[in-house]
Amino acid sequence: GEQVEQRPPHLSVREGDSAIIICTYTDSATAYFSWYKQEAGAGLQLLMSVLSNVDRKEEQGLTVLLNKKDKRLSLNLTAAHPGDSAVYFCAASHYNQGKLIFGQGTKLSIKP
């Protein structure tokens, strides 16, 4: 079945810098990708989602890139601020499967 690998597990960047999180997946039939943010003690909150026919999507300081050839998905946070400190998860699914497979998570810390 589908496997999603996420890296790095921990990431520390200075306030105002960019942070990049990468996920790779195994199944070329994967059709839907999403990124979630989890703040301390809380559930997961959807940040952005893309279908497999989209290569790039930007929203509110976040950029998602999808490279289907390399089966790689990335999340780029530009100009990080303290409120971005959280654990980030990527997730993937197929059209005909009503379930998301999650990556292992990346704990992002923003240094002042």
Partner 1 sequence: EAAVTQSPRNKVAVTGGKVTLSCNQTNNHNNMYWYRQDTGHGLRLIHYSYGAGSTEKGDIPDGYKASRPSQENFSLILELATPSQTSVYFCASGTGFSDYTFGSGTRLLVI
Alpha carbon of 15 to those of 5, 18, 63, 82, 83: distances in Å? 26, 8, 17, 7, 10
**CA–CA separation, 112 and 97 (whole Å):** 42
Q: Are strands 106-111 and 10-14 parallel, antiparallel or unpaired?
A: parallel
The residue (of 32 and 78) whose beta carbon lies closer to partner 1 is 32
Nearer to partner 1, 81 or 107 (CB): 107
End-to-end CA distance of the chain: 41
- Cβ closer to partner 1: 46 or 79? 46
Q: What does the binding site for partner 1 look like in residue numbers (CB under 8 A)? A: 1, 6, 9, 31-32, 34, 36, 41-46, 49, 89, 93-95, 97-105
- Least distance from partner 1 to the Cβ atom of residue 16, Å: 29
Query: Could you tell me the smallest distance in angstroms from the CB atom of residue 91 to partner 1?
Result: 8
